[in-house]
Amino acid sequence: MLPQRFVVVDLETTGNSPKKGDRIIQASLVIIEREQIIDQYTTFINPETAIPAFIEELTGIHEDLVKQAPLFSEAAQNIRPLLDHSIFVAHNTAFDLTFLQTELEKANFPLFNGQTVDTVELARFLYPTQDSYKLSDLAEELGVLHSRPHQADSDAYVTAEILLLMLKKLKSLPYVTLKKLHQLSSHLKSDISTVIQAVLDEKEQSIESLPEDLEVYRNIALKKKKIQKREDLLYDVMYPSSPNEKAEYMKEFPQFQIREAQFEMMDCVYETLDSSNHAFIEAGTGIGKSLAYLLPAAFYSKQHKVPIVISTYTTVLQEQLMNKDLVLLKAILPFSVQTAVLKGRSHYIDLFQFENSLNDETSNYDEALTKMQILVWLTETTTGDKNELNLSSGGELYWARIKQEDIFLNRSKNPWMEKDFYLHARKQAQQADIIVTNHAILAKDLFSDQNLISDYNQVIIDEAHHFGNVLGDQMGTEIDLRALKWMYQQIGTMEQKQLFFQCEELLKKHGKETSIHFFETDHELHQIAFEMNEWMNAASAFFLHLAKKKSNSWNKVQIRVGEQERKMKYWKELLYSTERLYELMKMIHHSLQERLMLAKKLETDLTLDEAAMIEKLYDLLESWKKWMNDLKNVIIEGSKQPAVIWMEGDVRMPQNHLKIKCRPAGLDRIRMEQFIDGKKSVIFTSATLSVNRSFQHFAEELGIPEKRFRQAIFPSPFHYEKNCKLIIPNDVPEIQDVTSEKYVEVLADYLSAVAQATNGRMLVLFTSYDMLKNTYLLMKESGLLEDFVLIAQGITNGSKVRLTRHFQKFEKAILFGTSSFWEGVDIPGEDLSCLVLVRLPFTPPDDPLFQAKGEALRAEGKNPFYHSSLPQAVIRFKQGFGRLIRTERDRGIIIVFDRRITTARYGKAFIQSIPKVPILHVSLPEVIQVIEDWL
Q: What is the mean pLDDT of residues 357-374?
A: 89
Query: What DSSP designation does 633 have?
Result: I
Q: For residue 450, what pLDDT is reported?
A: 67
The band of 432, judged by pLDDT with boundaries at 50, 70 and 90, is very high
**DSSP 8-state class, residue 240:** -
Q: Strand 458-461 vs strand 813-817: parallel, antiparallel, or unpaired?
A: unpaired
| 694 pLDDT more than 90 | yes
Half-sphere exposure (Cβ direction) of 411: Cα atoms closer than 13 Å: 7
Which residues share a beta bridge with 696?
none
Give the mean pLDDT of 397-424.
85
What pLDDT was estimated at residue 378?
98
Average pLDDT score over the chain: 90
Residue 829: per-residue pLDDT: 76
Residue-wise pLDDT tens digits, 652-676: 777 777 899 998 877 778 888 888 9
pLDDT band for position 71 (cuts 50, 70, 90):
very high
Indicate the SS3 state at residue 920. Answer: strand
689 in Cβ contact with 698 (< 8 Å)? yes
Instruction: Report the distance separating Cα 126 and Cα 120, nearest Å.
Output: 10
Q: How confident is the model at residue 554 (pLDDT cuts 50, 70, 90)?
A: low
Q: Say yes or no to pLDDT of 799 above 90.
A: no
Dist CA 340 CA 336 (whole Å): 13
In degrees and rounded to multiples of 5, residue 204 shows phi and psi of -70, -10
pLDDT at 839: 94
**Is 322 or 638 the better-scoring residue by pLDDT?**
322
- Reported as a single tens digit per residue, the pLDDT across 863-901 is 999 999 999 999 999 999 988 888 888 889 999 999 999
* Interval 323-336 mean pLDDT: 90
Q: Is the pLDDT of residue 475 over 90?
A: no
Name the pLDDT band for 1 (thresholds 50, 70, 90): low
Asked: is 720-934 a CATH 3.40.50.300 domain? The reply is yes
Under the banding of pLDDT at 50, 70 and 90, the label for residue 555 is low
Question: Do 265 and 289 touch, CB atoms closer than 8 A?
Answer: yes
Q: What gap in Å lies between CA 827 and CA 537, rounded to an integer?
A: 45
Q: What is the pLDDT of residue 263?
A: 94
Q: In which order are the strands placed within the sheet that holds 5-13? A: 36-44, 24-33, 5-13, 87-90, 116-118
Domain ranges of the chain: 5-175, 477-664, 720-934
pLDDT band at 517, cuts 50/70/90?
confident
pLDDT tens-place string over residues 257-275: 788 999 999 999 999 999 9
What is the arithmetic mean of pLDDT over 455-460? 93
Whole-number Å distance between alpha carbons of 602 and 510: 8
- Residue partners of 298: CB distance under 8 A and separation at least 6: 308, 329, 333, 337, 433, 434
pLDDT band at 710 (very low <50, low <70, confident <90, very high): very high
Show binding-site residues.
283-290
Span 547-571, average pLDDT: 79
pLDDT digits (tens, 9 = 90+) for 743-777: 999 999 999 999 999 988 999 999 988 899 999 99
Spatial distance between the Cα atoms of 321 and 337, rounded to a whole number of angstroms: 14
Looking at the DSSP bridge assignments, the partners of residue 216 are: 221
Lowest mean pLDDT among 54-63, 403-412, 835-844: 403-412
Question: Is residue 533 pLDDT above 70, yes or no?
Answer: yes
Asked if pLDDT for residue 552 goes beyond 70, the answer is no
CB 313 within 8 A of CB 345: no
Residues of each annotated binding site for ATP: 283-290
Contact 49, 14 (CB under 8 A): yes
Top CATH class of 5-175 equals: alpha beta
pLDDT of 234 reads 66
Confidence of residue 933 (pLDDT cuts 50, 70, 90): confident
> What pLDDT is recorded for position 769?
86
pLDDT of residue 513: 83
Mean pLDDT value of segment 339-343: 92
Q: Which residues pair with 436 in a beta bridge?
A: 310, 341
Question: What angle do the packed helices 175-185 and 365-377 form, to 10 degrees?
Answer: 170
pLDDT-derived band at 406 (thresholds 50, 70, 90) equals confident
- The reported pLDDT for the residue numbered 590 is 94
Which pLDDT band, with edges at 50, 70 and 90, does 551 fall under?
low
List the one residue out of 762, 769, 747, 744 whose CA is nearest residue 825: 762
Q: Give pLDDT tens digits for 183-224.
A: 999 999 999 999 999 999 999 988 888 999 999 999 999 999
- Please say if the pLDDT value at position 399 is more than 60: yes
> pTM for the whole thing?
0.86
What is the rounded distance in angstroms from the CA atom of residue 673 to the CA atom of residue 693? 24
Residue 449 in this model has a pLDDT that exceeds 70: no
List alpha helices for 632-708, DSSP H.
654-657, 669-677, 696-702
Percent of the chain with pLDDT over 90: 60
Identify the DSSP state of 555: S
Which of 41, 14, 43, 9 shows the shortest CA–CA distance to 26? 43
